[in-house]
Amino acid sequence: MDQDIVMRARVQLLSANQRVVRGTEGLRIYRLLTQVEPEVYGSKLAYVLVEASFSALVRNLPEQRLALLDEAVTVASALDTANPYRARVLAKALAARRELEGRQAQEV
């Protein structure tokens, strides 16, 4: 992993002055930093992925929404069971996935 890219991502995270950076910028930052420190940034990535699945950009694209939620479930599941945020973000991702699947079943 290029350490300059990692450092830039950390600087952007710090300069955002937010607890969680959302949107495409947050996805990019947390996807990168989760590769380096999964236990530190994985829960935030899962959280932002679930939020992104409800965004206007993918609202009418069920396959893309499902892909985001699948990624969120994968990331949250990979967190150590001792991680204090694991259960919460995993439950949120699974609930959003079930809700999407339920809507898709109703439309068929």
In the numeric block, the tokens 């206007």 are attached to 56
Residues 38-65: tens digit of each pLDDT? 999 999 999 999 999 999 999 889 999 9
Burial class (CB in 10 A: 0-12, 13-18, 19+), 49: buried
Mean pLDDT, residues 8-36:
91
- CA–CA separation, 88 vs 14, rounded Å? 24
Predicted local distance difference test score (pLDDT) of residue 13: 87
Q: Total domain count for the chain?
A: 1
Does residue 81 have a pLDDT over 70? yes
Whole-number pLDDT of residue 25: 92
Can you read off the two tokens belonging to residue 11? 């600087």
Distances in Å between the Cα of 97 and the Cα atoms of 58, 70, 107 are: 14, 8, 16
Average pLDDT, the chain: 93
Contact residues for 59 (Cβ-Cβ < 8 A; gap 6+): 65
Sign of dihedral through CA atoms 12, 40, 70, 52?
negative
- Tokens for 38, please give them: 């999964």
Domain that holds residue 78: 3-107
Q: Is residue 108 pLDDT above 70, yes or no? A: no
Report residue 95's pLDDT band, with 50, 70 and 90 as the boundaries.
very high
